[in-house]
Amino acid sequence: MRKVIEVNQLVKEYDGRKPVLSGISFSVSEKEFVTVHGKSGSGKTTLLNILGGLDRPTSGEVLIDGQSIVELSEDQLARIRLSKVGFVFQDYNLFMDLTVRENIAVPLRFSGKKDSGRIDELLTQFDISHLADETASKISGGEAQRVAIARAMVNGPRIILADEPTGNLDSENTEGVMETFRMAMRDFNTTVLLATHDENLARRSTLKIFLNDGKAFLEPAQTP
């Protein structure tokens, strides 16, 4: 199966301190569900930020869909993010004064694309059509996270990077968000990398990357 992410001997240091990431290597195939697991401070967010071009490694190589991103300019990285990578954050990062539909449309505006029915498709797929004209400030946490996932999906990315997306949710809403990710993989051929401290979620992935003391330990897991 085609590799969409390849990481080779990745190192990340800050100010000469002990490396947060110390020579880690792994690859991820299309339509995989991968969890990045580890205690607080283990480098989960750092790894996702490097994969998404929001941060740069000290050394090593990162390929996204076969393209090395380490030496790209900021403008080139921005284009990669708009076309191939979607982000989902723990605190949603929605514009609270915009409607649900307007929030989902934000990446389209940045990429200069027109909506050709994609927003309505996502609203229906993720069961938030009834919220389309509600402002983000008036919806629940579980609903807000589904909106955030729809926004991440609107440009048709090959990869979704999700940083503790269920950290603020109860068990029922966590399950709803997980089902939304499963739909993204099944219906849109998306690869999902999810950073979490929740061992129960980590066990449900196709591959678990456990970060500890700067090293990555890979464990095959079950189908989500």
**CB of 119 closer than 8 Å to CB of 130:** no
Q: What is the pLDDT along the chain (224 residues), one digit of tens a residue?
A: 789 999 999 999 988 778 999 999 999 999 899 999 988 889 999 999 999 999 999 999 999 999 999 999 999 999 999 899 999 998 889 999 999 999 999 999 988 888 889 999 999 988 999 999 999 999 999 999 999 999 999 999 999 999 999 888 888 888 888 888 988 888 888 999 999 988 888 888 899 999 999 999 998 765 54
Q: Which residues pair with 216 in a beta bridge?
A: 211
Given a contact cutoff of 8 angstroms between Cβ atoms, the answer to whether 105 and 143 are in contact is no
CB neighbours (10 Å) of residue 171?
A: 9
What pLDDT score was predicted for residue 222? 56
Rounded to 5°, the CA angle 37-6-118 comes to 85
pLDDT value at residue 121? 93
DSSP sequence for 179-216: HHHHHHHHHH--EEEEEES-HHHHTTSSEEEEEETTEE
Domain ranges of the chain: 3-220
Provide the pairing of β-strand 215-220 with 67-68.
unpaired
CB 193 within 8 A of CB 224: no
- What architecture (CATH level 2) is domain 3-220? 3-Layer(aba) Sandwich (3.40)
User: Cα–Cα distance between 221 and 50 in angstroms, integer?
Assistant: 24
